[in-house]
Structure 1
Amino acid sequence: MTSTAASISAASAAAVVEAALKLSSVIDGHNDWAWECRDTRDYSVEGLEAGLSTDTDIARLRTGRVVGQFWSVYVNDKLAGAEAVQGTLEQIDWVHRLAGRYPDTFMLARSAADIEEARANGLIASLLGAEGAHCLNDSPAVLRVLARLGVRYLTLTHVHNTSWADSATDAAEHDGLTARGVDYVRELNRLGMLVDLSHVSPATMHAALDTTDSPVIFSHSSCSALHDHPRNVPDDVLRRLAANGGVLMVTFVPQFLSADYAAWAEGAMTGPAPRVTISDVANHVEHARRVAGIRHIGLGGDFDGTEEFPIGLEGVDGYPGLLTELALRGWTAEELAALAGQNVLRVVRETDARFAAPTSSTPILVR
């Protein structure tokens, strides 16, 4: 266990967490429930209240104190062309139908004001994030349509490179971004859509940070310094978040948290899986805080996006447990509130004006 301050008692930690959640409930950067419901439920939005085999259901979201969720409108990048565009639209439709089916639980959200309204009314703000620019079929027009439908961020790549950006998990082709990739980042800025740098290579991270005039996010990544996984973020990138204003949303995927677990998962998987716990997640959170600063960290669980999660964080009801672990390490209520939701809420607010009126300027890319 690492520590930012002297540890405190369990009772005091619980009080700190409650105080933090009064200041800011959880706003999570990435959840793949829509894709899970495509895979296992034929996109049904019925019966989602409780007792599901998924990492997410309504009861667990309430227990987890989630007030804002970026639902990933993801399609596997084995889908290409018009099929990828169609799949993304189906994902968006699922989130819209989810909110329509459960109006006492979910509210579609496009802005910081929407998130605050949802919280005031006891609802879960439902935002959209598109994972992987393959979903655009290299069409800026599709990007603009997604913005009109309420998509607030675009992850520049997924597992594989696009024609204009390098992925973290593919052989480099572009040394980061091509000239067209630079223009896509500028178009995202113009639209008020957040540039999401999870899944991209370090060269792409730096190229995007060199280009963007708005804060970036990492919707679900962890720290290379603790585990040098290609999906994690190096310290030289983390250090740039202070000047950029962006946020690393630490993820809970065991392969990104633990070298031992990654070796097991990527090998023969013989014997029991190495233990990964809330403490491992807290270590990544604390490292990101030390390098990037308290204003530049958040949470992006990736629930329903992988098979296993750390002990104590098996579903969306686990966020208070993580906050408790950090409180036991000496985090204050104000610091926990910044991590839980205030930081990413600030980033959304800073880009709201452009997102509300993107037609006030000329597109960077037309075709």
Structure 2
Amino acid sequence: MLCYILFVFQTTCLSELPDVAPPLGLVRGQNGSVRCNGRPVHCQPDSGSSCSSKGNSSAEGKGTMPTKVKPWCVGLGICLLFSAVGVGLGVPFALNSSGPSTHQERLEVVRRLLREVPLIDGHNDLPWNVRKFVHNQILHFNFSADLMKVEPWARSNWSHTDLPRLRRGMVGAQFWSAYVPCGAQYLDAVQLTLEQIDLIKRLAELNPDHLTLVTSVKGVQETHRAGRIASLIGVEGGHSLGNSLAVLRTFYSLGARYMTVTHTCDTAWADCSVGDRGATPSPDDRKPGLSDFGKAVVREMNRLGMMVDLSHASVPTMKDALTVSKAPVIFSHSSAFALCNSTRNVPDDVLKLVALNGGIVMVNFYTYFITCNSSASIADVVDHINHIRAVAGLEHVGIGAGYDGINYTPQGLEDVSKYPQLLATLMEDPRWGETEVKQLAGLNLLRVFQEVEQVREKWRLAAVMPVEELIPANYLEGHTDCMYLGS
């Protein structure tokens, strides 16, 4: 039909439309004069468009243009112009709206996207399982094996990770948790944390075809382009510091790029989420949240370029850290309190503060943080992701499953191989296009990480010195039997 209209238009109207371009061979010079085949052309006064080339009278009358145009031809021309524009704009929209229609098609899209950007998970507790199961003796630990068929991993509800499943899950970067239990606080927590950091580094060294230890945004990007999994270290629990900023600096120098300020116990300088201590004074009678020393810890993390992780923190601790930190913070493995009122989750008022801070909440898959009971589904996890997106914004949500540290997983998200299933399910919602999925998968975390690095560089250029503040001795009363305090 369109071809027919164009044909009719060409045969009936084109000869009657004004020629707005000079006739063939005419060129307008820089001074406004018109030249024809290199010779000047003189227009006769009051002769319309009739022009002649000096010395060539045979050119007279050539190029004369009509002075009137039929209105219906002009109208048809305008209609055709808008039709062409409409077709040009409509085709891409039509193609977009006819995107992947089946789950399998969406999976193929997701796999392509995860080759373009790294899927970054904020928290995996495999290192602690390695300590429990093989006592950190990994020279004969085959991480490339299917651990679902290897004892004692096969019979553990806490085991979800091995290299084959990480590859199937298209994981691009993984923060491994250097976790030690709260029972080690004031005892050998520092030593145990050092041993866990050593384990993570050796695990990468023993599997160089798959894992590369990285400490920067650039390292994540380069490792992903090389087809390997970027391994990063996160220290889980401020009790691992032994109340020493020197230990914090040492952890950073060994590769740790975030620290969770608390775990399931209060430290001498920060309150944890257990029991929701929002209005309950701490044992040392200081107000809830971060002490002055705790605020110094956050400032020193900013100076180092170490991400402040607020998973496990009490709400007052969250708010104090968000107030003090000059860099974006993270929640490495937490979900939305509005959907499951576990104290491990993030309330809406804090989600709004995270958005103002520029930080990120990485959604955890533990069913008791998703539905507050022992069963959940992919759809329930999607609900948490969408809630955080709605309250804080798309730029402030990520993924921090918590595998190997949880014993109940959602149906369809049983282990680290299932991330593509989650992203493909998200894409059933038209609000989740390719750009949005990329942000959730890894770009949001990379942005936060990069901004933390930028704060570090600004402070370095400003010659900001290390914090040397000491924790007040009265905060340690009752816990000094195993501590040398002579200096």
TM-score by length of 1: 0.91
Counterpart residue type for residue 16 of structure 1 = V
Amino acid at match of 2:336: C
Letter in 2 for 1:348: F
Please give the per-residue CA displacement for 1:52-105, whole angstroms capped at 9, x wherever unaligned.
132110011111111101100010011123510011000000011111101111
1:170-202 CA distances to partner (integer Å, 9 max, x unpaired)? Answer: 444232111111111111111111110100011
Q: Are residues 1:303 and 2:403 paired?
A: yes
Query: 1:122 is matched with which residue?
Result: 227
C-alpha separation between the residues in 2 aligned to 1:243 and 1:354? 16
Shift of 1:248: 0.3
Counterpart of 2:173? Answer: 68
Shift of 1:50: 2.5
- Residue 362 in structure 1 maps to residue 465 in structure 2: yes
The correspondence of residues 130-169 of structure 1 with structure 2, limited to 5 A, is: 130-169=235-274
Alignment of 1:186-335 (within 5 A): 186-259=299-372, 261=373, 273=374, 275-330=375-430, 331-335=432-436
CA drift at 1:10: 2.3
Specify whether residues 254 and 320 from structure 1 end up closer, same or farther in structure 2 by C-alpha distance, changes over 3 A only. same
Structure 1: gaps (5+ residues): 262-272
- When the two chains are superposed, the root-mean-square deviation of aligned CA atoms in Å is 1.9
Distance 1:76 1:90, change over 3 A: same
> How far apart are residue 277 of structure 1 and its match?
1.1
> 1:325 deviation in Å?
1.1
Q: Which runs of 5+ in 2 are unaligned?
A: 1-96, 148-152, 154-158, 471-487
Query: Which residue of structure 2 lines up, in the alignment, with residue 51 of structure 1?
Result: 146
Equivalent residue number for residue 291 of structure 2: 178
Structure with larger RCO (C-alpha < 8 A, sep 6+): 1
Render the CA deviation track for 1:254-284: whole Å, top value 9, x for unaligned. Answer: 110013x1xxxxxxxxxxx5x3111111110
Distance 1:97 1:49, change over 3 A: same
**Contact 2:311 2:344 (8 Å CA) reproduced:** yes
What's the CA shift for 1:252?
Answer: 0.3
Distance in 2 of aligned mates of 1:355 and 1:311: 41
Question: What amino acid sits opposite 1:108 in the alignment?
Answer: L
Q: Residue 107 of structure 2 contacts residue 421 of structure 2 at CA under 8 Å; is this kept in 1?
A: no
**Relative to 1, partners in 2 of residues 1:83 and 1:358: Cα closer, same or farther, differing over 3 Å?**
farther
CA distance in 1, matches of 2:223, 2:104: 30
Counterpart for residue 267 of structure 1: none
- Give the Cα separation in 1 of the matches to 2:454 and 2:393: 26
Give the paired residue count: 350
Decide whether the 8 Å contact of 1:20 with 1:334 is kept in 2: no
- Corresponding position of 2:61: none
Match among 344, 348, 351 for residue 445 of structure 2: 344
Partner of 1:220, secondary structure, is coil
Residue pair 2:326, 2:455 contacting (<8 A) in 1 also: no
User: Secondary structure, in 3 states, of the residue corresponding to 1:206?
Assistant: helix
Relative to structure 1, the CA distance from residue 356 to residue 62 in structure 2 (aligned partners, 3 Å threshold; closer, same or farther) is farther
**Cα offset, 1:125, TM superposition:** 0.7
The CA distance in 2 between the partners of 1:67 and 1:61, in whole Å, is 9
**Contact persistence 1:23–1:334 (CA under 8 A):** no
Task: Report the 3-state secondary structure (helix = DSSP H, G, I; strand = E; otherwise coil) of the residue aligned with 1:78.
Answer: helix
The whole-number CA distance in structure 1 between the counterparts of 2:459 and 2:129 is 32
Task: After TM superposition, give the deviation of residue 12 of structure 1 in Å.
Answer: 4.1
Instruction: Tell me how far apart the structure 2 counterparts of residues 357 and 114 of structure 1 sit (CA, whole Å).
Output: 20
- Alignment partners' CA distance in 2, 1:354 and 1:148: 17
TM-score where L is the length of structure 2: 0.69
CA distance in 1 between partners of 2:412 and 2:134 (Å)? 26
Q: Please, which of 129, 134, 138 is the counterpart of residue 41 of structure 1?
A: 134
CA distance in 1, matches of 2:448, 2:127: 24
CA shift, 1:348, in A, is 1.2
| Residue 357 (structure 1) shift | 9.7
2:41 aligned partner: none
d(CA) in 2 for partners of 1:38, 1:78: 16
> Which moved further from structure 2: 299-308 or 344-353?
344-353
Q: 8 Å contact 1:192–1:358 — kept in the other structure? A: no
The one-letter code of the counterpart of 1:202 is V
CA distance in 2, matches of 1:220, 1:307: 15
Shift of 1:356: 7.5
CA distance in 1, matches of 2:117, 2:339: 28
Instruction: Extract structure 1 runs of 4+ deviating beyond 3 A.
Output: 5-9, 353-360
Q: CA deviation at 1:329?
A: 2.1
Q: Which amino acid aligns with 2:322?
A: L
Distance (whole Å) between structure 2 residues aligned to residue 179 and residue 60 of structure 1 = 44
